[in-house]
Each structure stands twice: as C-alpha cells, then as structure tokens.
Structure 1
Amino acid sequence: MKHHALEQLQIVAEVDQDYPCRPMSRSERLRRWAELLEQNADRRLATLHQTEYQPIRERAAMRSNSSPISVAFEDPVLRAAGLENDSYGEARRFFELTDNQLHKVICYCHFGATMSAATAAHHLRKLIARQRMFTRLRGMLVG
C-alpha cells in the first residue's frame, strides 16, 4: 500500500473528510453486518469454539480467520464507524451485544466448525427484530 499526503490525494480525487458524517446507530451497524453476510450467503464461515466456557479475557480475544466477525471487519464502512478488529470482544463492544446474543450468532456449539453466512445473517436479523419489538413496547409503556 502506498501512502500519500492529503494534499496529493486532493489533486486526483475528491476527499470527503467528514465521512462518515454521522455515527451509525446500533441497529444500523447490525443491519449493515447482516447485509454484508447476505451478499455472499453460501460462504462458509468459521465459528468460535465454546465461547460460553472461556474466561472473560480469553473470550474477548477470541477470533478466527473467515468468521462472521471478520466479514464485518473487512467492511470499510464499519471500520470507519469504529470497528477496531475482528475479535469476539470487539464485536461485542461495537455491535452492543451481550455475551448470550453474540454466542447465538457465532458459537461452535450451535453450528459446528463452520456455518453459512446466511445463517449468521438470519440470527442477526432476529436480534434486530427483537430490538424493534422491545423499542415499540417501551414506547407504548413509557410514552
């Protein structure tokens, strides 16, 4: 990769320094992740082994090449929004998921050694739908 000063880039391209202009909401980040997975739905992705049994530090550091999390990390939009790496802990932080939620999307015990990207996307879509339902219920009860 060749690095250039901003001034050099502006000669050959329009550089938008405000990109992304606004932070992505949790729902937007999850939807983007699901969409990325759906783009290559038949792709086989690696799961993470026994996430629920790992000590907190080891669990946070868990990662695998070609996992559903690595698909998210390959995306420049999600990286620009703040996704720092493709570890379990970073996915948990960035997508604002509980251990139980992320476990249901990525763990070996549910899918075996690999899963299809479509399956991971399906489980993310279920999380998004649940979040919408709770948001509506909260709106009905509170306001």
Structure 2
Amino acid sequence: MRRQTGFTLIELVTVIVILGILAAFALPRFSGLEAKARIATINALAGSVRSGAALAHALYLANSSASPIAMEGSPVGAVIIDATSGYPTVAVLGIKAVVQDLTGFTFDPATGIFTMDSAPTPANCKVTYTLGAAAGAVPGVVVVSTGC
C-alpha cells in the first residue's frame, strides 16, 4: 500500500478560516486609503496655489507692479495680476495660469474654485482661491475635504 501525502480537509479549512480572520482585521485599515489619497492630493493643490500666488506676487513686485507678468513655463505665458492686491486674479489667465497641472480637477473662473473630479462629492472636495480686499493682502486659499 502506498502512503498518500497532502493536506487533510481539516487543515485546509483551518488555514482558510485563519486567512479570513486576518483579512477581516486588515480590510478596515486599507479601506480609508483612497479617501486619504484624495485629501493629500487636494492639500497638495492648495500648496501649489499658495506657492504659485506668492511667486507671481514676487514677479509682480520685481516688474515694478506691471500687469500682466510673464511667467516662464506657464502654459499661457502671461498672468494677469490684480492691481489692488498684487496677486493673480481669480480667472483663467490669473491663478489657473500659475498652477501648471490640473489633471483631475475642474476650475471655475467665476468663483476661483478647483474641484476634484474623482471625489464622491466634488462640491465638498475643493480648493477655493479668493483675493484679499486690502492692498497687498495675501489671497485666501481654503481647503474643503469633507467630501473626498
């Protein structure tokens, strides 16, 4: 009689049950990664908007407060600057021209809102750019990530 080798049915069931228990504990940990990635992306966009506005403001001051300013690398080449604040306007040729890559975002030039297209609730996953009212006031950049 030949001796048979292999796993018994009880051993296979035990391994499957253990793997199921491990998966049940690991799944909640990985389920929030997609939302965290979207929040990180929206925060990175806000940082780009802040940095781009500061760079445009510096170029504006260096160019004797003349608008539009030429920004090397900008897809449109020139950025329109608000005469009161000295920062890019809330327009396509303003802040949108400063921020280079908007893949995955939609920009509304009437409101200065960048919304994330892939978010479950795009209206609550956005960056809002607003000009300061006073002369030289730093523009506001507000992040809403509750819908990411």
TM-score by length of 1: 0.32
Larger Rg belongs to: 2
Structure of greater relative contact order (alpha carbons < 8 Å, 6+ residues apart)? 1
